[in-house]
Amino acid sequence: MRQQAAIQSPQRAGGSSSAHSRGGAAAARLALRRPFAPGPSRRDNVLDVRAELTATVWKVVAEVGTAVAAGDDLLILESMKMEIPVTAPESGTLAEMHVAEGDSVAEGDVLAVVATS
């Protein structure tokens, strides 16, 4: 009975009538989110391609030494039954591949290095 009263009149039951409140558990979940996922990091004329989430390397697509264009698939990660392509951030040459198929990676790990000109 008290639950029904709270549903019909949240203010009488001590609740809030604000539907856009961000308190409690929702605020805690938002506070735990990172402001952005790690992206490629530049040093000299190379870009480190980093994992944006914890996953398993499902397939390595590109070979070291090959030319890649911005947006080309370098490898494919698998996380929670989803395939996530990891692409070249800029055109260049795939200088290093730090992972192999079946490897586990964590958010922020360097997966590959693309040399730019």
What pLDDT was estimated at residue 101? 98
* Number of residues that make up the chain: 117
Q: Which domains does the chain have, with CATH numbers?
A: 2-32 (no CATH), 41-115 (2.40.50.100)
Confidence (pLDDT) at 77: 98
Does the pLDDT at position 35 exceed 50? no
Q: Could you give the dihedral angle defined by the CA atoms of residues 4, 7, 13 and 18, in that order, rounded to the nearest 10 degrees?
A: 180
Check: pTM over 0.75? Answer yes or no: no
Taking Cα atoms as reference points, which of 38, 34, 78, 44 lies closest to residue 60?
A: 78
Q: Which residue has the higher pLDDT, 67 or 24?
A: 67
10 Å CB burial of residue 109 (0-12, 13-18, 19+) is: middle
Q: Is 18 helix (H, G, I), strand (E, B) or coil?
A: coil
Q: What is the pLDDT of residue 39?
A: 57
Give 41-83 pLDDT, tens digit per residue. Answer: 667 789 999 999 999 999 999 999 999 999 999 999 999 999 9
Tell me what the mean pLDDT of segment 19-26 comes to.
44
pLDDT of residue 47: 93
pLDDT of 28 = 40
Residue with tokens 């030319």: 67
Q: What is the CB neighbour count within 10 angstroms for residue 96?
A: 15
Judged against a pLDDT cut of 80, whether residue 19 lies above it is answered with no
